[in-house]
Amino acid sequence: MTQLADLPTLSRLIRKVGLERFIEGLANTIREDFLRWPQFQKQPRIVDHSPGGVIELMPTSDGQRYAFKYVNGHPGNPARGLSTVVAFGVLADVETGYPLLLSEMTLATALRTAAVSLLAAKALARPGARRMALIGNGAQAEFQALAFHWHLGIDEIRLYDIDPHATRRLMRNLAPYPALRLLPCESTAQAVRGADIVTTITADKRRATILTPEMIEPGMHLNAVGGDCPGKTELHADILREARVVVEYEPQSRIEGEIQQMAGDFPVTELWRVLADAAPGREHAQKLTVFDSVGFALEDFSTLRYLHQQLQRHGLGRELELVPSLADPKDLFSLTHAGQPESPTPAYTGATHDDAPAASAHSTGLDPGAAPGHRDHRARRQPAARALC
């Protein structure tokens, strides 16, 4: 059976685990998977661009488990009352190909993106970083703020968004965390001044320059999250020239990341190498570092893996009859009868009159508790099979 984790289930799971611990556990799981990077089958995500946005499929496998995420990015959606980013994903067993988990991933994507930003910042930001600027105060913003507050020690965040309602919502949602000082600002430049870390997480389907070189101070760490598509960036190219740039999966980031602005041989380091101590993290206090985040399939694989574990541990999620469980796996045809109105002349000539009551019970749909109708149907087929022999 496939487990279903819909949004109410994930909300319940987060309440049970606690958001702070949930982000920590998720970050640890993503880290574990980054540390076994060579085991994963990797490819840039499969994209379908349209004038208003993009729809993407993000598959990967470690040879035992396979995962993919469906995700979009439509910056114009909020004006229609819709989210910019929505997602769902599947975790499957490689040996059988059977799906184990079908999960919502809109909320899960915000959590995993914050967790990955956190992993990168832990390795790249100045030790003792306390002050962050958060540019773009939309759906992802609370998760970034809290991940950095709880797990990196950020205690002051300066906020800027072109939409003041977004900043007000963020401040309202974070009011229960008084140890985190929130300061709304009137411009990006004002928010960025004096920050140890700058997170850019804006949505605009164009080559934006949210950060320009004169805003940058030595030793800053830039967590650049919103530029994640061809033609969609947030940093001025001169900033990248000055920085040590860390990416998730280089072939994908060359297409989608801030580094799409740079020549193909522009030097970058993959995050897994930094986490595995195969490449340095922060080299010195004055160095400008950039995490050029676009979101990589492995992070969603880890998220689904973590969700699957946690749902089982906490007895949450429900079983979904998404794929057949047949006594005779070749008898897929039997499913065409379950739940169908009883035909006056059954197509299956070997059928006996004994079949009729069971079949009509299913056809009325009066027995929702007996959802796997094909199990009963299987029993009905046996006399027919004997008749044929």
In the complex, the residues that contact ligand NAD under the rule CB under 6 A are: 73, 75, 78, 84-85, 109, 113, 135-140, 160-163, 166, 201-204, 208, 210, 225-226, 228, 293-295
State in angstroms the smallest separation of the CB of 234 from ligand NAD. 8
Question: Which entry of 196, 228, 300, 355 is annotated as an active-site residue?
Answer: 228
Strand partners, 131: 156
Q: Which residue's CB comes closest to ligand NAD?
A: 138
228 is catalytic: yes
Amino acid at 343: S
Compute the distance between CA of residue 352 and CA of residue 385 in angstroms, rounded to an integer: 10
Which one, 307 or 359, has the nearer CB to ligand NAD? 307
Q: What is the DSSP string of 79-148?
A: GGT--S--EEEEEEETTT--EEEEEE-HHHHHHHHHHHHHHHHHHHSPTT--EEEEE--STTHHHHHHHH
State in angstroms the smallest separation of the CB of 346 from ligand NAD. 53
State in angstroms the smallest separation of the CB of 98 from ligand NAD. 28
Which one, 2 or 117, has the nearer CB to ligand NAD? 117
State in angstroms the smallest separation of the CB of 116 from ligand NAD. 7
Q: How far apart, in Å, are the Cα atoms of 223 and each of 132, 158, 288?
A: 10, 14, 11
Q: Which two tokens stand for residue 24?
A: 């920590």
Q: How many CA atoms lie within 13 A of 228 on its CB side?
A: 29
Instruction: Specify whether the CB–CB gap between 318 and 358 falls below 8 A.
Output: no
Compute the distance between CA of residue 3 and CA of residue 331 in angstroms, rounded to an integer: 23
Which one, 210 or 307, has the nearer CB to ligand NAD? 210
Helix (H) or strand (E) holding 221: strand 221-224
Instruction: Specify whether the CB–CB gap between 104 and 7 falls below 8 A.
Output: yes
Please work out, in degrees rounded to the nearest 5, the angle formed at the alpha carbon of residue 119 by the alpha carbons of 78 and 123: 130
Which one, 152 or 247, has the nearer CB to ligand NAD? 247
Which one, 91 or 139, has the nearer CB to ligand NAD? 139
State in angstroms the smallest separation of the CB of 347 from ligand NAD. 50
**Catalytic residue IDs:** 228
